[in-house]
Amino acid sequence: MTRARMPRPHEVASARRDPRLQRAVAERGLDPAWRTRGACQTVDPETFFPAPSEPADAAVALCRTCDVQGSCLAWALEVGDCHGVWGATTPRERRAMLVAWRGEQQNQPVDSPIREEPLLLPLIQLIAPPKQVAVRDPVGATAG
Specify which residues 86 forms β-bridges with: 89
Confirm whether 144 is domain-assigned. Answer: no
Give me the numbers of helices (H) and strands (E) for the chain, helices first please.
6, 0
Any domain includes 143: no
Whether this prediction's pTM lies above 0.75 is answered by no
CA–CA distance from 119 to each of 61, 71, 140 (Å)?
36, 22, 42
Whole-angstrom Cα distance, residue 96 to residue 18? 10
66 annotated as a binding-site residue: yes
Q: Can you give the pLDDT at residue 60?
A: 95
Flag whether 107 is in a domain: yes
Residue 40 known to bind ligand: yes
To the question of whether residue 82 is assigned a binding role by annotation, the answer is no
C-alpha–C-alpha distance, residues 90 and 88, integer Å? 7
DSSP-derived letter for residue 81 is -
Residue 52 structural domain: 9-116
Assess if residue 101 is contained within a domain. Answer: yes
Residue 29 confidence (pLDDT): 85
pLDDT digits (tens, 9 = 90+) for 39-92: 999 999 999 999 988 999 999 999 999 999 999 999 999 988 778 999 999 998
Element (H, E) at 74: helix 69-79
**pLDDT higher than 80, residue 139:** no
3-state secondary structure of 89: strand
Q: Residue 85: inside a domain, yes or no?
A: yes
Q: Is 63 annotated as a binding residue?
A: yes
- Is 133 part of any domain? no
Domain count, the chain: 1
Model pLDDT for residues 93-138, shown as the tens digit of each residue: 998 999 888 876 665 543 334 443 343 344 344 444 445 545 555 5
